[in-house]
Amino acid sequence: MTEQSIEPIQPDESKAAIPHVEADEKFFAAIGYFSFLFIVPLIVKPKSEYCKFHAKQSMVIFLVSIIVLMFLAAIPMLGSLLTLALFALYVIAIYRAYNGDMWNIPMVSDFAKKINLDSIFGKAGLAVSGISGMKEKAEDFAKKAGDAAKDIGKQDDKL
């Protein structure tokens, strides 16, 4: 018998490591692929790069679907085939977003990367960020008020 050396399996370095994505980010990114709802992840999670990534891709697919509807009206057979292809793309994108994948959809991601959300949603984006900041301040205030109430309760117990 000859001895064979067993080499450990090396991880595939061609795949980029995906950072941990919170469950709510996955949910809202998946919701964003439902037609015009691409705006939802931008409103609910304005600071999430994961949600922005999927919202941009969904925005491009939505615009393509409008063009496909025009083909459907002009050339029903071609439009029907394109509609089926778009439906399949939506289903796959929703699945991949919900699983936490940063899937670059071929051709779509090229256009999505060029979208500047700040120029599109400028002041509205600032308002949403401001609301998020107000929520955090309100939570901090509520915590401090709760701590103060506990301190008062302890002082009453001492008397």
Q: 82 with 72: CB under 8 angstroms?
A: yes
Question: How would you class 39 by CB atoms within 10 Å of its CB: exposed for 0-12, middle for 13-18, buried for 19 or more?
Answer: middle
Per residue in 20-32, pLDDT tens?
889 999 999 999 9
Q: What is the pTM for the complete model shown?
A: 0.64
* 3-state helix vs strand vs coil in the chain, percent to 5: 70, 0, 30
Mean pLDDT of the residues in the chain: 79
Q: Which of 46-50, 119-123, 127-131, 146-150 has the lowest mean pLDDT?
A: 127-131
- Please write the tens of the pLDDT for every residue from 71-100: 888 888 888 888 899 999 999 999 999 999
Residue-level pLDDT at 140: 72
pLDDT score for 69: 86
CB atoms within 10 A of CB 60: 20
Query: Does position 111 have pLDDT exceeding 70, yes or no?
Result: yes
When pLDDT is cut at 50, 70 and 90, the band that residue 151 belongs to is confident
Give ∠ CA 59-61-64 in degrees, rounded to 5: 110
Please give the pLDDT value at position 13: 39
Q: Which token pair is 145? A: 């008020």
Q: Please list, in sequence order, all residues whose beta carbon lies within 8 angstroms of the beta carbon of residue 125, skipping any fewer than 6 positions away.
A: 42, 46, 117, 118
**Gap between the Cα atoms of 27 and 9, Å rounded:** 34
Classify the phi-psi angles of 69: left when phi > 0, otherwise alpha if psi is within -120 to 50, otherwise beta.
alpha
